[in-house]
């Protein structure tokens, strides 16, 4: 039996033919038998079919591969952005400290220790300058406070962690209202009235920003606690990345928040990243030994010897550079 087939696939030529007894015109390439017609129909049906399972799996695999490459890169960019915001916060604090000192004959606040009160802590002494804007007291990577109840109920700690802010402290503790943050002040910069601070003479306190070597003297840094007082170069680094010793003052600032570094504000009001092992090279107070056991100079100038000392005490910091 002969059929007329409209064939636009098999041939590019279009022919016009007239069927006897009719006036209709058809585009056709030829007369085809039933078997050929069935084959062409199958081809047309296959052309209309969707993606195969294998094709879909290949597409999904490619998308998954791209995501595995892009997501870590996006996370890195996000952390770098937050680190820049953190440095911006510290620069704002630098302006506040400078204005406060200029308003008080060039000297900083008294500080909490040695008979001071919460009104002498920088969080409250600068209250009229910073207005209690929580955003600039927290690094963007550590905004959630360790303690949710400022009244002091429960067993939650007051101090922070790598990505946790210290506080919330209740009113009249470090400020006139509940406060939390993730920066800590070097107490040696304060204008204390006492004779000793942590058992060390306060004659070594900086008290003002008009000092020699201000670019090496830290003022405000990323920290586990609201303040810290590194006394001598023999203070040991923390044994764990997520641990600090309340009595070992320098560990309050040894917080791995920015990929092996902390952000810090110095007495010349400059802001930069500080390697965690570099903390032992900073001039915390006037007589602080910057060539102690945890430095290259303190190990006969040998970087390898310094690394060995660090590896023995703090293996978690093995990949970080020595200073």
- Tell me, what's the pLDDT at 154? 57
C-alpha dist (Å) from residue 277 to 23, 27, 128: 96, 85, 35
More confident residue, 192 or 277: 277
Band the pLDDT of 253: cuts 50, 70, 90.
Answer: very high
More confident residue, 232 or 93: 93
**Does 23 have pLDDT greater than 60?**
no
- Tell me, what's the pLDDT at 56? 83
Band the pLDDT of 228: cuts 50, 70, 90.
Answer: very high
Helix (H) or strand (E) holding 193: none
Distance CA 66, CA 242 (A): 33
Question: Rounded to an integer, what is the distance from CA 189 to the centroid of its chain?
Answer: 26
CB 182 within 8 A of CB 166: yes
- Tell me, what's the pLDDT at 39? 59
More confident residue, 197 or 82: 82
CB 234 within 8 A of CB 249: no
Question: Rounded to an integer, what is the distance from CA 251 to the centroid of its chain?
Answer: 19
Question: Rounded to an integer, what is the distance from CA 113 to the centroid of its chain?
Answer: 31
- Tell me, what's the pLDDT at 200? 84
pLDDT tens per residue, range 40-65? 555 555 555 667 888 888 888 888 88
- Tell me, what's the pLDDT at 42? 58
Band the pLDDT of 15: cuts 50, 70, 90.
Answer: very low
Average pLDDT, integer, range 251-276: 96
- Tell me, what's the pLDDT at 25? 44
Could you tell me the pTM of the whole model? 0.77
Contacts of 73 (CB under 8 A, 6+ apart): none
DSSP 4-59: E---SSS-S--EEEE-TT---EEEES-EE-HHHHHHHHHHHHHHT----HHHHHHH
Band the pLDDT of 101: cuts 50, 70, 90.
Answer: very high
- Tell me, what's the pLDDT at 284? 97
- Tell me, what's the pLDDT at 69? 80
Average pLDDT, integer, range 226-254: 89
Work out the mean pLDDT of the chain and round it to a whole number: 83
How are beta strands 261-266 and 271-275 bridged, if at all? antiparallel
Distance CA 249, CA 293 (A): 16
């Amino acid at each position: 039996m002969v059929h007329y087939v409209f064939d636009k696939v098999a041939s590019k030529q279009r022919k016009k033919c007239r069927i006897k007894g009719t006036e209709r015109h058809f585009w056709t390439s030829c007369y085809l038998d039933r078997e050929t017609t069935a084959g062409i129909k199958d081809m047309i049906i296959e052309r209309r079919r969707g993606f195969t399972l294998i094709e879909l799996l290949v597409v999904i695999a490619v998308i998954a591969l791209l995501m595995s490459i892009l997501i870590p890169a996006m996370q890195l960019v996000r952390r770098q952005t937050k680190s820049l915001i953190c440095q911006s916060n510290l620069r704002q604090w630098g302006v506040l400290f400078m204005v406060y000192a200029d308003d008080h004959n060039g000297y900083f606040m008294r500080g909490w220790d040695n008979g001071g009160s919460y009104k002498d802590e920088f969080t409250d002494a600068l209250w009229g300058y910073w207005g209690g804007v929580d955003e600039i007291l927290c690094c963007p990577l550590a905004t959630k406070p360790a303690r949710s109840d400022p009244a002091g109920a429960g067993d939650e700690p007051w101090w922070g962690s790598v990505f946790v802010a210290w506080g919330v402290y209740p009113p009249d503790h470090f400020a006139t209202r509940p406060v939390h943050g993730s920066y800590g002040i070097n107490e040696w910069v304060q204008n204390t009235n006492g004779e000793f601070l942590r058992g060390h003479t306060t004659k070594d306190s900086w008290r003002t920003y008009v000092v020699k070597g201000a670019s090496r003297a830290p003022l405000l840094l990323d920290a586990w606690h609201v303040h810290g007082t590194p006394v001598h170069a023999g203070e040991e680094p923390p044994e764990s990345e997520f641990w600090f010793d309340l009595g070992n003052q320098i560990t309050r600032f040894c917080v791995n928040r920015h990929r092996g570094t902390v952000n810090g504000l110095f007495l010349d009001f400059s802001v930069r990243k500080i390697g965690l092992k570099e903390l032992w090279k900073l001039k915390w107070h006037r007589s602080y030994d910057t060539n102690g056991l945890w430095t290259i100079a303190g190990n006969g100038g040998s970087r390898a010897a310094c690394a060995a000392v660090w590896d023995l005490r703090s293996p978690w910091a093995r990949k970080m550079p020595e200073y």
